[in-house]
């Protein structure tokens, strides 16, 4: 939701053990599917990107992450309670909880959400609106609004930053954790297109050269 994880599809060698391809995916048949549509493939996570975000998000959100649940590599019983998570992202989430906000965190490894519809009577609309404009940069965080919810995530994440990272990845310009490659918005403008549908896509949409709205 906030550009927290990146996965790449890869061809699977039917005679290999598949470990280098990450998780093995076998598509389900559907009407109109071609042979290529149903061909098994590997799904490999970009560990460099995930490691970069862990400086702010830590790793306590990883067990029970929604993507891992989908892939079958984790279960809901492994989810670490919010009060036991340690990292700047979760420290701020616990701070908001102590102030009376209800926090949506289960299934998220690199972000959490404050949903107005989930708040109790002690949190007013004014409290929620004020939270939207709260500066969280000192905590190393950024925010965006999506479907009436406020998302909090590492400032190095976000959909625009994810686009920038992917543009370099697919241009064979690799960034290491010790020596990140500096770029300008012009780089994204020339190399990225995006599909968007809500407020939290605006920063990404304004940076990309071509934007599609369904």
Percent of the chain residues past pLDDT 90, beyond the cut: 49
Place 106 in a pLDDT band, splitting at 50, 70 and 90. very high
**pLDDT at residue 22 greater than cutoff 80:** no
The pLDDT, as a whole number, for residue 4 is 87
pLDDT averaged over every residue in the chain? 86
The pLDDT, as a whole number, for residue 184 is 53
Separation in Å, CA 39 to CA 15, 22, 68: 15, 16, 21
The pLDDT, as a whole number, for residue 114 is 97
Cβ neighbourhood burial of 4 (10 Å; 0-12, 13-18, 19+):
buried
Quote the CA–CA distance of 58 and 71 in Å, as a whole number: 21
Range of weakest confidence among 7-16, 23-32, 42-51, 163-172: 7-16
**pLDDT at residue 155 greater than cutoff 50:** yes
Backbone angles phi, psi at 142, to 5 degrees: -135, 165
The pLDDT, as a whole number, for residue 83 is 97
The pLDDT, as a whole number, for residue 167 is 85
**pLDDT at residue 180 greater than cutoff 50:** no
Q: What is the mean pLDDT of residues 178-207?
A: 75
The model's pTM is 0.81
Q: Please list, in sequence order, all residues whose beta carbon lies within 8 angstroms of the beta carbon of residue 18, skipping any fewer than 6 positions away.
A: 12, 24, 42
The pLDDT, as a whole number, for residue 175 is 46
Q: Give me the residue label for tokens 């369904």.
A: 214
List, for residues 111-124, the tens digit of each pLDDT value: 999 999 999 999 99
Q: What is the mean pLDDT of residues 126-138?
A: 95
The pLDDT, as a whole number, for residue 125 is 94
Separation in Å, CA 10 to CA 44, 66, 84, 163: 7, 21, 36, 20
Quote the CA–CA distance of 189 and 113 in Å, as a whole number: 29
Tokens standing for residue 110: 């690199």
**pLDDT at residue 129 greater than cutoff 80:** yes
């Amino acid at each position: 939701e906030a550009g927290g994880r990146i996965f790449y599809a890869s061809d699977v060698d039917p005679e290999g053990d598949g470990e280098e391809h990450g998780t093995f995916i076998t598509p389900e048949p559907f009407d109109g599917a071609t042979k290529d549509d149903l061909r098994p493939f590997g799904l490999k996570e970009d560990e460099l990107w995930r490691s970069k975000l862990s400086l702010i998000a830590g790793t306590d959100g990883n067990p029970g992450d929604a993507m891992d649940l989908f892939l079958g590599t984790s279960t809901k019983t492994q989810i670490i309670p919010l009060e036991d998570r340690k990292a700047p992202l979760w420290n701020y989430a616990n701070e908001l909880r102590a102030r009376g906000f209800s926090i949506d965190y289960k299934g998220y490894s690199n972000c959490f959400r404050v949903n107005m519809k989930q708040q109790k009577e002690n949190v007013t609309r004014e409290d929620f609106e004020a939270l939207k404009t709260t500066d969280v940069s000192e905590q190393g965080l950024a925010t965006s609004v999506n479907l009436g919810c406020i998302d909090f995530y590492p400032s190095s994440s976000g959909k625009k930053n994810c686009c920038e990272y992917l543009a370099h990845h697919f241009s064979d310009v690799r960034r290491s954790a010790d020596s990140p490659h500096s770029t300008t918005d012009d780089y994204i403008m020339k190399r990225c297109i995006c599909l968007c549908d809500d407020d939290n896509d605006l920063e990404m949409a304004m940076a990309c050269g071509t934007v599609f709205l369904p």
